[in-house]
Structure 1
Amino acid sequence: MSKNLFITGTGTEIGKTYIAGLLVKTLHESGLDVAYYKAAMSGNDRRSDGTLIPGDALFVKEISGISQSLASMCPYVYEHAVSPHLAARIEGQPVRMEVIEQTFHEVCHEHDYVVVEGSGGITCPLRYDEEHISLADIVRRFNLPSVLVADAGLGTINGVVLTYEYMKQKNLPLKGIIFNNFHPHAVMEEDNRLMCEKLTGLDVLSCVSHGDKNLPSLPAEKLAALFC
C-alpha cells in the first residue's frame, strides 16, 4: 500500500498541477515508484475521436516521465471549464465516492507513493445534489496529509491563512506551503513567505519560479518524508 500526499491550493489557476508534476518528477527521478491521481478534472479538450483528454494528468505524465497510464490517473474527466460538481451536472456524469475509492485504491496498490491533486481550492465541491462530496471528504476518507500551493504574489497572505484556518478547523493536516510564480529577491514576495510562515506556523517548503523544472530546496528525501 502506498504513502500519499494531497496537493491543495488557495484557489484555482495558481499552479497546483504544475507543482504536482514537479513533485512526481522529483520522486520519479530519484528512483522511487510514484503515481498521480486526481478524482475529477474539468475543462478538458477532446481528441479527434471525440474522447476527452485528461489534460492535467497528461501534463503531469509528460513533465515527470512516469509510465502510469492516463486512464488510471483520473476517473472523472469533464469538458466544461467549471467546478466539477457543475460540469458533472451538465454532462450527466455525477461523481460517486465508491468509484473514487476503487480507482484510488487500485493506484495505491500498484505504487509506493501517490501524489493526489485536488480540484480548485479545498472547499471545492465535486458533487452537490442529493449527495454532497467535497475535496475535504476525500482528504478525510483517505487520511491524506496535504501541502498547500499558493501564488507568491500580492494577496497570498490572506488566501494562505484562510485556507490554513479552514483546514485546521476541519482537522485536515497541512505539512507545509509551496509558493509558485516566485521572484527571488522580490521584497514583497520574500515578506509574503515570512508572513505566511509566522501566521500559520507552517514552513514554506519551496519557492518555485516560472519555468522551473525542479523544486528548489525540496530534494526527494525531504519530499518523501511528507507522505503518509
Structure 2
Amino acid sequence: MIACFVTGTDTGVGKTLSSCALLHALARHHPRVVGMKPVASGAEPDGQGAWANEDTLALRAASTITVSPSLDNPILLPDPVSPHIAAERARMPVTLAPILQAYQTLREQADAIVVEGAGGWQAPLSEDLRIADLAVALQLPVVLVVGLRLGCLNHALLSADAIRASGLTLAGWICSRVDPTMLEPEANLAYLRQSIGAPLLADIAWQAQPDARTVRVQLPKEWQ
C-alpha cells in the first residue's frame, strides 16, 4: 500500500491541486486510489443534501473509489478559518484518534492514499496539536508543495528542515507557480532544485482554471 502526506509552504499554494495530480498519477499504477482530508475548515452544500469541504470534493473527484465521508474527511469544521479557531467556534475538538482510525480503515480499502494537510507544516489544529503532529502520527513520507512566489525560498527551506527534524522522509516536492507576475521564477526554481534535498515531482504552471489532469507528475519509483 502506497501513501503520502501533502503539506505546503503556506495556505493557498496549491496543495489540493497537487494532491489531485498525485492521485491521477498514482491511478495509472494502482486501481484503488483515494484522497483524504483529515481536517477541513469551511463547509458548503455537496449537492446531495449534506455538507462538504471544497478541497475534499476535489479529492473525491480525483479518486478512483468512493468511501464514506467519515473516512476521507473525518473532521469537517463549518467556518473557513484556521482549524483551531474553527474547532473552537464549533465546539468540535480536533483529536488524533478519529483521524488515525479513519486512515487505518482506508488502508484496508485502497492501494494508494494521498493525505492532504491544512495550511503549512506548523498550522495549528488545536491548542496542543499541529499539522506536523498529525503527519508524525501517521508516519507517512511527505510531499512539500512550494508556492513559487517572493519569499518562497525561506519558506521552502524552513519547511524542508522542519519535516526532516520531525523524523519523517521528505519524499519529494512540487513547484506550484501561484504568481504569474513573479520576477526570476526560473532562478528561484533552480536554487530550490539544488538546495531542497529532495526530488522535484512536478512543476505546475499557473492556470486561470486549474486542472490536475494536465499536471505531469514524476512519481518515485517505489510508488509506481
TM surpasses 0.5:
yes
Change (3 A) 1:169 1:117: same
Q: 1:68 to 1:116 in 2, by over 3 A?
A: same
Paired position in structure 1 for 2:141: 145
> Which whole-Å CA distance do the structure 1 matches of 2:220 and 2:64 have between them?
17
1:76 matched to which residue of 2? 75
Q: Deviations over 1:88-108 (max 9, x none)?
A: 110011112111111111111
Letter of the structure 2 residue corresponding to residue 69 of structure 1:
V
Identity %: 27
The equivalent of 2:24 in structure 1 is 25
CA distance 1:140–1:48, change in 2 (3 Å): closer
Q: Does 1:200 align with 2:199?
A: no
Cα distance in structure 2, aligned partners of 1:181 and 1:88:
31
User: Aligned AA for 1:180?
Assistant: S
Q: Shift in Å at residue 204 of structure 1?
A: 1.9
Q: Matches of residues 207-218 of structure 1 in structure 2 within 5 Å?
A: 207-209=203-205, 210=207, 211-212=210-211, 213-218=213-218
The offset of 1:214, in angstroms, is 3.1
Distance (Å, rounded) in 2 between the aligned partners of 1:110 and 1:75: 16
Q: Does 1:225 align with 2:219?
A: no
Structure 1 length as normaliser, TM-score? Answer: 0.85
Q: Distance in 2 between matches of 1:31 and 1:85?
A: 35
Q: Which runs of 5+ in 2 are unaligned?
A: none
Determine if the alignment matches structure 1 residue 189 to structure 2 residue 185. Answer: yes
Alignment correspondent of 2:109: 110
CA distance in structure 2 between the aligned counterparts of 1:141 and 1:87, rounded to whole angstroms: 22
Whole-Å Cα distance in 1 between the matches of residues 135 and 26 of structure 2? 21
Q: Which has the higher strand share?
A: 2
Deviation sequence 1:158-211 (CA, Å, 0-9, x none):
110111122222222211210112799x97221111111222222222101123
2:72 maps to amino acid: M
**TM-score, scaled to structure 2:** 0.87
Match of 2:162 in 1: 166
Instruction: Please name the residue that 1:156 is paired with.
Output: 152
| Contact 1:148–1:176 under 8 Å retained in 2 | yes
1:48, distance to aligned residue in structure 2 (A) = 7.8
1:195 maps to amino acid: Y
Does the 8 Å contact 1:26/1:214 carry over to 2?
A: no
1:53-86: CA deviation from partner (whole Å, max 9, x where unpaired): 2221111222x25232351211011121111111
CA RMSD of aligned residues (A): 2.4
Provide the aligned length of Structure 1 versus Structure 2: 218
Amino acid at match of 1:225: E
Give, in angstroms, the shift of residue 124 of structure 1.
Answer: 1.0
Deviation at 1:226, TM superposition (A): 4.8
Structure 2 counterpart SS, 1:118: strand
